[in-house]
Amino acid sequence: MNKGLSIVLMSILCISLIVGCVNQGTPEKTTTTTIKIGSPNTIKAANFFDTNLGVFSKISNLTLTKMDENGKIIGNMATKYEASNNDKVWKFYINPELYWSDGKKVTPEDVKFSVEYYANKIPYAGWIKQRLKAVTVIPEENAVEILFTEPYTRTNLEFTTYNILPKHVWESIQDPMNYIQIDNYVGCGPFFISNVNLDSQIVTLKKNPYWKGKQSVVDTIEIHMYKTNDALALDLENGTLDVYYKYAGSYPYSNIQKLIDTGKYATIKKMNVGLIFLGMNLQRQPMSDVNFRNAISYAINYDEIAKIDALGYGTAPNRGFVPPTMEFYKETPKLEYNLEKAKQLLNEAGYKDGNGNGILETTDGKDIKLIMLLRPEYVRSGELVQDYLKKVGIETTLKSVDSSTWISLKDKYYYDLTITRTTPWGMLMHAQWGSGYFDSRRTGEGVLHNLSDPEFLKICDNILSTTDSGKLKIYAYDLQDYYSDNLPGITLYWNENITPYSKKFSGWYVDPLFGIYNTETFLNLQKAS
C-alpha cells in the first residue's frame, strides 16, 4: 500500500476513535418532569365512568365548557357557545386544533355521539335523556347544535362535567358502565391517561403527542391514590409527593400544621362552595314533619361541631343552606343552638315521652328510634349529632357503611338520617343552590332526591326556565327562603378547603369546580427558582 495513503487512513481512523470516545464520554442529557399527586380519591375499577377516574380524566377528555377561577363559565373544547332566546337551542363551536391522542382529528361528530351516548347509556345523565330532542352537526361551522324539548338555562354549566368521547373508540362499546380498560384511554387534552394500575393504586397520564396548544414543562402526571389519610400524610411529610388533591375537599385539618412545619409546602386556602349537612328521609315519619325538623335544628351545637370537626376552619351556618360563596346568596336567619327551645317545639308538635323511658314517642305512640346511615368519614360528626339528639329524647343508632352500600341504601330510602356533603358542582347543578340534592326528579350517586313538594319543584322549574337575571335572583331568594322555612337538610357547618403544594413548583390555578386539577394548572406550572 502506498505509504502516503496509509498515513491518511491511519489519521482518519484516529480521528474517528477520538470522536467516538468524546461522544461516549459526554452523552446527550435528557430530563423529564413528573408531578406526583397524592389523593384519597380512590377508584373502584378501571372504568372511564368511575366517579373519581372521571375527575382525573378532565385534563384528558376535555369538556365542552369549564369554569374559570372567578366562577365564570367559558369555552373549553368549544372555543365559544351561544344559546337561543328561550334557551332551548345551544350551539357549541368546536376547537379545530384538537386531536385525539391516537392522531385522529376531533370533530363535531364526536360531540354529537357523546351527548347521545351519555343520554342513552349512562344512568347519571338521565336529565339529558329526559330533555334532549335532537343533536345536529353543522360541518361548515365545525359546530354542534343541541335542541332541548324545553328551556334549560344551565346547559353551559352542566357541560363543564361531561368528558367528550372519541366516537371511533366508543361506538363499538355497548356496556360502558362495565367496560374495563387498563391502558391508553384516547383523549384530546394536553395529557391522556396512559395507565390505570389498581395494584399500585397509581393513575398515570402522559403528554398527548398531538396536542397543538401550549406545551407543559410536565411530562408525566402520577396520581397516587391512598386508602388511608395517615399513609398519604406520611408521604407528603417525607416530600415524596408534589401536591395533595381531594375532589371538592380539604387536606385533613388535623395534619395541616405538621405538614407546614416541614418547610416543604405552602397552602392554598379557599372558602368551600360545598358544605356538610344532616340529610333526612322525608318519606318517613317523623322526618316528613317540618315541625320535627325545625325542632331538632335547635338541638345541634353548631359552634361546637365546627370547632371539633373543622378545627377552626369552619363556621356556624344559616337556615338557608346556601353558603355565602355563592352568587345571589341571601342572609337568612342563623341556625341556633337552644336545647330548651328544641324540647319545647318537640312537645308542641306532639312528640312526648308518654311512658317515661326517656325516649320521645311519635304521635301514634312509638318510640323515636332512628337509623343514621354514614360513610366512615362522617362517623365523628354522626357521633356528635347522636349525642345532641339524645339530649332531647331521640334515640339514634349509627350505621357505618362503605360508599357503595351508602349509595344503594340511600337510593332505596333505607335510612332515617344521614350526614353527607355537597360539592361545588353539586351546589351549582340542576336549578343551582343545592337544589339537585333534594329534587326527587334528579338522579346521581351523591344526591338524596327526597323532596317532591310542589312548591319546591315549582321554584326549581322557575330557575331552570328563566333567561332573566333579575328573575333568577328572585327565584334564588325564594329557594333559600324555602330551605329556611322547611329545612329539607340542616347544614352543620360551612368550611374552608386547604390544598398543600410543594414549593418546588409555582403556577397552581384553582377553579371552583375541580380545584387545582385542571388544564390551566398543568400547562402553566413552572419549577420554582
Q: What is the pLDDT of residue 234?
A: 98
Is there a domain that residue 31 lies in? no
Is there a domain that residue 150 lies in? yes
- Per the structure, how many domains does the chain have? 2
pLDDT in tens, 314-328: 999 999 999 999 999
pLDDT in tens, 422-473: 999 999 999 999 999 999 999 888 999 999 999 999 999 999 989 888 999 9
Is there a domain that residue 219 lies in? no
Query: Domain holding 89: CATH number?
Result: 3.90.76.10
Q: What is the pLDDT of residue 18?
A: 41
Nearest to 132, CA basis, from 141, 122, 140: 122
Residues with Cβ within 8 Å of residue 43, at least 6 apart in sequence? 50, 51, 52, 53, 56, 196, 198, 203, 225
Q: What is the pLDDT of residue 169?
A: 98
279 and 136 within one domain: no
Q: What is the pLDDT of residue 329?
A: 97
464 and 338 within one domain: yes
Q: What is the pLDDT of residue 189?
A: 99
Average pLDDT over residues 178-202: 98
Nearest to 287, CA basis, from 406, 372, 384, 401: 372
Q: What is the pLDDT of residue 5?
A: 42
163 and 280 within one domain: no
pLDDT band at 1 (very low <50, low <70, confident <90, very high): very low
Is there a domain that residue 251 lies in? no
Final residue of a domain: which of 118, 143, 170? 170
Buried b (16+ CB within 10 A) or exposed e, 100-115: bbbebebbbebbbbbb
Task: Name the region of 278 (left: φ>0; alpha: ψ -120 to 50; beta: rest).
Answer: beta
Instruction: Identify the domain containing residue 118 by its residue range.
Output: 61-170
HSE-CB at 285 with a 13 A cutoff on CA atoms is 11
Is there a domain that residue 78 lies in? yes
Residue 81's beta-bridge partner residues? 92
Final residue of a domain: which of 148, 170, 192? 170
Is there a domain that residue 8 lies in? no
Q: Are strands 34-39 and 220-225 parallel, antiparallel or unpaired?
A: parallel
Average pLDDT over residues 166-191: 98
Final residue of a domain: which of 126, 142, 170? 170
The 8-class DSSP code of residue 42 comes to -
Nearest to 319, CA basis, from 485, 435, 475: 485
480 and 358 within one domain: yes
Q: Is the pLDDT of residue 25 over 50?
A: no
In degrees rounded to 5, what are phi and psi of residue 384? -65, -45
- Cα 249 to its chain centre, rounded Å, is 9
How does the average pLDDT of the chain come out, rounded?
94
Q: What is the pLDDT of residue 30?
A: 63
Nearest to 34, CA basis, from 191, 164, 163: 191
Q: Is 442 helix (H, G, I), strand (E, B) or coil?
A: coil
366 and 486 within one domain: yes
Q: What is the pLDDT of residue 21?
A: 42
pLDDT in tens, 325-354: 999 999 999 999 999 999 999 999 999 999
Is there a domain that residue 191 lies in? no
Is there a domain that residue 226 lies in? no
Report the percent of the chain where pLDDT is more than 70: 94
Query: Domain holding 437: CATH number?
Result: 3.10.105.10
pLDDT band at 126 (very low <50, low <70, confident <90, very high): confident
